[in-house]
Amino acid sequence: MKKIKLLKKPKKNNSFKWLNRHLNDEYVKKSKKEGFRSRSSYKLIQINEKFKFLKKSQLILDLGCSPGGWLQVVKMNAPEGSMILGVDKLHLEEIEGVSFLRKDIFEKITLTEVDNFFRNKKIDLILSDMSPNSTGNKSIDHLRIISLVEKVVEFSRHLLKVDGYLVSKIFQGG
């Protein structure tokens, strides 16, 4: 019987560089040490230190919330008794005091379910740290994140109170 030699596809050099950068990133190390689920927790902490919106927010929605780093920061800083909801099509490990909907924000039913959760009250704060899977092409990635942000803005038009806060991530682009 003849042996078949399987060839492994070589990893792209860019993937290796990204992984190496990620594993040595000070915020990745710090988040693991301090128990945050993602390095992006520190982005939200910094934004809140500057604008101080978390203490003023009782009804809070986090779109694209998995793995839950921003929800952890919200839970630590929001007023006692706040209603906090995370929405993502990916699984989220439970966070005490935080509700979760496993839904895609592009489905019409999601807006209705979010509205029902907050009992048709307008929301104080909408967060979105969503990002599309990267293609490696900055122009395409920028257009894809713009599409996500537009959907977040559309959600905000329906759900956010007049003097509410919207915090969203966007990739730099053309």
Of 171, 165, 151, 153, residue with least CA distance to 74: 165
Dist. CA 8–CA 44, nearest whole Å: 40
How far apart CA 48 and CA 125 sit, in angstroms, is: 12
Output the six-digit token pair for 94: 């439970």
Active site annotation includes 169: yes
CB 40, CB 68: distance < 8 Å: no
Catalytic residue among 11, 56, 89, 169: 169
- Listing from the earlier edge strand, what are the strands of the sheet with 99-102? 99-102, 83-88, 59-63, 123-128, 160-168
DSSP label of 164:
E
β-strand partners of 62: 86, 127
Rounded distance between C-alpha atoms, residue 53 and residue 125, angstroms: 8
CA distance 141 to 136: 7
Active site residues: 169
